[in-house]
C-alpha cells in the first residue's frame, strides 16, 4: 500500500440529489489517489441501487458492496474496512458534502504530525443545503491530542474522520453500539495508544435534519455515550471491557431510553444547561445556580452532564 485513501460510505435511504452531491464531492477531490467503497445497506431500495450502479459505471474508483439485508452502520463500515486497499481510511456520509481540498489538507496534516486519526470541522447545512448562520457554526480550534477531551465526551464529527487503516483494524473495527459506535471506536483507539488530533479547518458540509438522532433521541445518545465511557474506564483498570450486545441493551433499559417522557425531560434539561453556559458568560451567578439545580434534578446523571460540560469548556478555553 502507498498513499492511497480508502473512502468508506454507507448508503441507506438518501435522496438521489443528496447522494449525487455527496459522491461528486468525493470524485472531484484535489487529491485523486483513492478508492471509494460504497456499501448499500438498503438492498430493497431499487432506486438507491440504480443510482449507485450509475455512479459506479462513471468512475472506476467506485467499489460497490450490497448487503443481503439491512445490517446497520457499524457492520456496513466494517465490511468496507475489511476490503480496503488504502493505507488510510476516510469516512463519508451519503448526505454530506466534502469540500474539494479535504483529502489533500487532512492527509498532509495527519502525516506531518505523526497522528493515527484526525477529525475536522464542518459547515452546518439543513435539509435543503442552506448554511446555518455564522453564530450557529462550531468555533474552530486545532489540537494534536484529543485524548483528554474525548474522555469526557465525543467532539468528533464522524464523517470528517481520516485515519490510518491499521488504526481501525488494530481495534477490530466498529461495534454495535447505536448511536455511539463512533465514540466507542475513538475511545478504543485511545486504549490502544493511538494518537488522535483535529485539523483546525472546515472540511465538510454537515447536514443536520429536524429528524436527526440528536434532535429526536438525544437522551439515548447521552446514555449510550455514558455506557461507552464506562467501558473505557474499565479498560484502564482491567485492560479489557465486558461489552456484549445484551449488556448494552440492559444498560439502555435501566435508564428508560425508550420512554418518550425521558426524552422530553432531557430536552428540557439541555435547555437549562444552555442557560447555565449563558449565565456563566454574563457572570450572572444567581441564574447560573438556579439553572444548575434544574439540570441536576431534571434527569438521572444530571450532575454528570454538568461536570462533563464544564470539563470540556475548560479544555476548549486552553486551546483558543
Which of 265, 249, 258, 248 is CA-nearest to residue 301? 265
Least confident of 3-12, 185-194, 267-276: 267-276
Q: Check residue 218 and give its pLDDT.
A: 87
Q: What's the whole-number mean pLDDT along residues 287-314?
A: 90
Q: What's the whole-number mean pLDDT along residues 117-126?
A: 97
Q: Check residue 1 and give its pLDDT.
A: 43
Which CB contacts under 8 angstroms, 24+ apart, belong to 182-188? 182/154, 182/156, 182/158, 183/154, 183/156, 183/224, 183/225, 183/228, 184/228, 184/231, 186/117, 186/146, 186/150, 186/154, 186/156, 187/150, 187/151, 187/228, 187/229, 187/231, 187/232, 188/232, 188/235
| 278: pLDDT strictly greater than 80 | yes
- Per residue in 20-56, pLDDT (tens digit) is 999 999 999 999 999 999 999 999 999 999 999 999 9
Q: What is the DSSP string of 108-170?
A: HHHHHTT-SEEEEEEEEE-TTSPBPPGGGSPPP--BS--HHHHTT-----GGG-EEEHHHHHH
Q: Check residue 173 and give its pLDDT.
A: 98
| 273: pLDDT strictly greater than 50 | yes
Q: Check residue 301 and give its pLDDT.
A: 87
Least confident of 31-35, 102-106, 180-184, 274-278: 274-278
Q: What's the whole-number mean pLDDT along residues 176-184?
A: 97
| Helix axes of 285-298 and 302-319: crossing angle, nearest 10 degrees | 130
Q: What's the whole-number mean pLDDT along residues 158-174?
A: 98
| 129: pLDDT strictly greater than 50 | yes
CA dihedral 68, 72, 78, 81 (to 10 degrees): 90
**Boundaries of every domain in the chain:** 5-213, 261-320
CA distances from 312 to 36, 125, 260, 270 (A): 35, 25, 28, 16
Q: What's the whole-number mean pLDDT along residues 42-71?
A: 96
Q: What's the whole-number mean pLDDT along residues 167-192?
A: 98
| Helix axes of 260-282 and 285-298: crossing angle, nearest 10 degrees | 160
Q: What's the whole-number mean pLDDT along residues 144-148?
A: 94
Q: Check residue 159 and give its pLDDT.
A: 98
Q: Is 261 exposed, middle or buried (0-12, 13-18, 19+ CB in 10 A)?
A: exposed
Q: What's the whole-number mean pLDDT along residues 69-93?
A: 98
Q: Half-sphere exposure of 222 toward its Cβ, with a 13 Å CA cutoff?
A: 26
- Per residue in 210-265, pLDDT (tens digit) is 765 455 578 999 999 999 999 999 999 999 999 999 999 999 999 999 999 998 99
Q: What's the whole-number mean pLDDT along residues 306-317?
A: 83
Percentage of residues in the chain having pLDDT higher than 70: 97
| Residue-averaged pLDDT of the chain | 94
Read off the pLDDT band of 199 (50, 70, 90).
Answer: very high
Q: Vertex 143, ends 138 and 172: CA angle to 5°?
A: 95
Read off the pLDDT band of 112 (50, 70, 90).
Answer: very high
Homologous superfamily of 5-213 in CATH?
A: Spore Coat Polysaccharide Biosynthesis Protein SpsA; Chain A (3.90.550.10)
Amino acid at each position: 500500500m502507498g498513499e492511497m485513501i480508502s473512502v468508506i460510505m454507507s448508503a441507506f435511504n438518501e435522496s438521489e440529489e443528496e447522494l449525487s452531491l455527496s459522491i461528486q464531492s468525493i470524485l472531484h477531490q484535489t487529491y485523486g489517489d483513492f478508492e471509494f467503497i460504497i456499501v448499500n445497506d438498503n438492498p430493497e431500495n431499487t432506486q438507491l441501487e440504480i443510482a449507485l450502479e450509475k455512479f459506479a459505471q462513471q468512475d472506476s474508483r467506485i467499489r460497490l458492496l450490497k448487503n443481503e439485508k439491512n445490517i446497520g452502520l457499524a457492520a456496513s463500515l466494517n465490511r468496507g474496512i475489511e476490503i480496503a486497499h488504502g493505507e488510510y481510511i476516510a469516512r463519508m456520509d451519503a448526505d454530506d458534502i466534502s469540500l474539494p481540498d479535504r483529502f489533500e489538507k487532512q492527509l498532509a496534516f495527519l502525516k506531518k504530525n505523526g497522528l493515527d486519526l484526525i477529525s475536522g470541522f464542518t459547515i452546518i447545512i439543513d435539509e435543503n443545503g442552506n448554511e446555518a448562520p455564522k453564530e450557529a457554526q462550531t468555533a474552530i480550534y486545532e489540537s494534536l491530542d484529543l485524548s483528554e477531551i474525548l474522555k469526557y465526551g465525543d467532539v468528533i464529527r464522524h464523517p470528517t474522520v481520516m485515519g490510518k487503516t491499521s488504526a481501525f483494524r488494530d481495534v477490530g473495527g466498529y461495534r454495535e453500539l447505536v448511536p455511539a459506535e463512533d465514540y466507542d471506536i475513538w475511545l478504543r483507539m485511545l486504549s490502544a495508544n493511538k494518537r488522535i488530533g483535529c485539523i483546525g479547518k472546515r472540511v465538510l458540509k454537515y447536514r443536520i435534519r429536524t429528524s436527526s438522532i440528536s434532535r429526536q433521541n438525544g437522551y439515548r445518545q447521552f446514555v449510550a455515550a455514558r455506557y461507552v465511557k464506562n467501558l473505557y474506564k474499565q479498560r484502564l483498570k482491567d485492560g479489557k471491557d465486558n461489552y456484549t450486545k445484551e449488556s448494552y441493551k440492559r444498560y439502555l433499559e435501566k435508564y428508560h431510553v425508550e420512554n418518550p417522557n425521558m426524552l422530553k425531560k432531557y430536552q428540557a434539561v439541555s435547555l437549562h444547561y444552555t442557560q447555565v453556559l449563558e449565565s456563566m458568560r454574563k457572570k450572572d451567578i444567581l441564574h447560573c445556580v438556579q439553572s444548575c439545580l434544574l439540570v441536576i434534578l431534571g434527569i438521572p446523571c444530571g450532575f454528570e452532564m454538568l461536570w462533563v460540560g464544564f470539563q470540556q469548556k475548560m479544555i476548549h478555553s486552553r486551546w483558543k
